[in-house]
Copies of this chain bind each other. A is one copy, B any other.
């Protein structure tokens, strides 16, 4: 193997235009009852089963075939390499925090198969081998070569950070060098039909210090929308990036592009990029995002719809798009330290992303509707299997999102029981979070700085919270936090200092902008960061689509340890519309008001839907301004 002369940097969190810097996943140990069981299932069930599926479907074979180790036809879709890379990345994040021999050995072998398939010139893609070599780089719009190269680099970086294994990283750099030798402003022009490599190149730049990678990322963004690849709106190639004002086209591509552009901003401070990113963020969150943080309303083109086009039953809301939403908002948070981005990230994470995987870790939703008649069920795999390993890598890396650091101190982004080892100005600080979040809003944070030090703790006061109280060592602090901001608590921190946060977490009814026609006169139920839904299996009194919540109905929440691996359910009395029309589509109203009868109902967290028997499900429940006891 050819040696690449590069010094690799494990801590690459020095982006000059980042307000916040990330904390490595291994520095935070989750100890909660919400995510830890998910990560255990991920390690014990999901990742081993995905490994088997990657083998069984020929995805790893394709690499062995490319290197000449095995013979036969290429199997599956031309971009299936990327599924392998995402799996390796997920395994790397797992290995960063806990050694797992089977996953380690499995990934090691897979990496050997990948690396062995690399060409002399650095090219690596198992599809474009043998008779297809001549077709390399001939169709940037459709063939996902740059996309796969990006996922390779991300896997390589994660694996290097977790295990210090440089094998895959060498390969990834050689791929990137190969690409940089072909594409560039003084070389061949082009841009990928499916953005993703932009993020990877910036991270490779952070890891290697090689400015050519950053230049290439910037180049690929700058060249979009110039007609170079014949792309359209689906590829977000219909106009130059800086001219965009609405999120359009393929939702995953759109948000991967935005995430990559944010990465470039973090390194370059390019103001016109930033202005574009803010415009797009406003458009998405104010007009084109589901309550769950899911995005991409349309099945056709897996695309964003028009403003306020957010249908429930026919929602696409691909799991990968919610993941991309987390990735983008994470980077916007790093750029600004503004809590609105953390809020959006949290919303997507607990709802639109988490609904993508079954409680047993074996099945996945590609599409995440907000209402259903019992037809949609998760599946064990897909021919285009982008979502399963994507959700795996996000769940595996979750501990990296909990805290950030800045020159001023420590930022608490997410609340979850955990122990973190952080470093503030060379001073080691252990942070212990004790909480049952997301089931209640009481959080205790105990600080153990190595030495007494003055610095700030920035506490995210969640946007969903209407009343937050913060105490330091049992004393309320003067200024309580404004929801949707970070509350700065600056003082000299001593070992054993305790922050006590209390976020009121009542059941909330949420209204939607009535320009979303389907949601006018409906309410959704939320509690803390969780969006709820009514599933038929919990509701014997009426079809959940006929549930009508009067504005004054009492909504109770209650912990049920035996349900759906333990959830807080919401229940109450409501009405049921007597609108049973049978086979009639339209019916002339009689003069009497429609009959309603009183029913009890139960709602469960949206992320947990479709884990029991199939039946109607609904997030946006009909409502009435009439009182229940009218």
Contacts and interface: CB of A to CB of B under 8 A. Distances in A.
Interface in A279-327: 282, 285-287, 289, 291, 300, 305-306, 308-309, 311-314
A625 to B, nearest CB: 5
A509 B593 CA distance: 11
Interface string A548-561: 10011000000000
A464 interface: yes
A58 B589 CA distance: 51
Given A514-B579, A624-B624, A508 B545 contact: no
B313 A517 contact: yes
Nearest to A314: B309
Contacts of A512: 585-586
Contact of A626 (B309, B522, B625): B625
Given A551-B594, A593-B552, A625-B626, A586 B314 contact: no
Interface string A193-204: 000000000000
A595 to B, nearest CB: 9
Given A521-B622, A552-B593, A514 B289 contact: no
A478 interface: no
A352 B282 CA distance: 37
Contacts of A526: 588
A510 interface: yes
Contact of A585 (B289, B300, B518): B289
A427 interface: no
A359 B445 CA distance: 70
A57 interface: no
Given A545-B520, A624-B625, A585 B466 contact: no
Copy total for this chain: 2
Interface string A503-545: 0000011111111111011111010000000000000000001
A245 to B, nearest CB: 14
A587 interface: yes
A380 interface: no
A298 to B, nearest CB: 8
A581 interface: yes
A574 interface: no
Contacts of A371: 517
Interface in A311-360: 311-314
Contacts of A548: 521
Nearest to A592: B551
A593 B545 CA distance: 22
B508 A589 contact: yes
A131 interface: no
A233 to B, nearest CB: 14
A596 interface: yes
B511 A587 contact: yes
B589 A511 contact: yes
A222 interface: no
Interface in A459-500: 464, 466
Contact of A309 (B313, B624, B630): B313
Contact of A579 (B464, B520, B622): B520
A584 interface: yes
B594 A520 contact: no
Contacts of A177: none
A508 B591 CA distance: 10
A474 B458 CA distance: 88
A64 B584 CA distance: 52
A588 B309 contact: no
Contacts of A625: 593-594, 596, 624, 626
A577 interface: yes
Given A286-B584, A593-B552, A518 B521 contact: no
A509 B588 contact: yes
Interface in A556-601: 577, 579, 581, 583-589, 593-594, 596
Contacts of A509: 588-589
Contacts of A282: 583
A363 interface: no
B312 A546 contact: no
B515 A545 contact: yes
A286 B585 contact: yes
B510 A589 contact: yes
B586 A511 contact: yes
Interface string A133-168: 000000000000000000000000000000000000
Contacts of A309: 313-314
A517 B518 contact: yes
Given A625-B626, A626-B625, A588 B517 contact: no
Contacts of A589: 508-511, 523, 551
B588 A545 contact: no
Nearest to A627: B593
Given A521-B521, A624-B625, A626-B626, A514 B587 contact: no
A109 to B, nearest CB: 42
What are the 5 tightest A-B residue pairs by CB atom distance, in nearest-first order? A509-B589, A626-B626, A551-B593, A518-B518, A300-B300
Given A286-B583, A513-B581, 7 more contacts: A289-B585, A300-B300, A510-B587, A516-B585, A517-B620, A523-B589, A626-B626
13 contacts: A282-B583, A286-B583, A309-B314, A312-B517, A510-B587, A511-B588, A511-B589, A517-B545, A520-B622, A524-B586, A551-B593, A596-B625, A624-B624
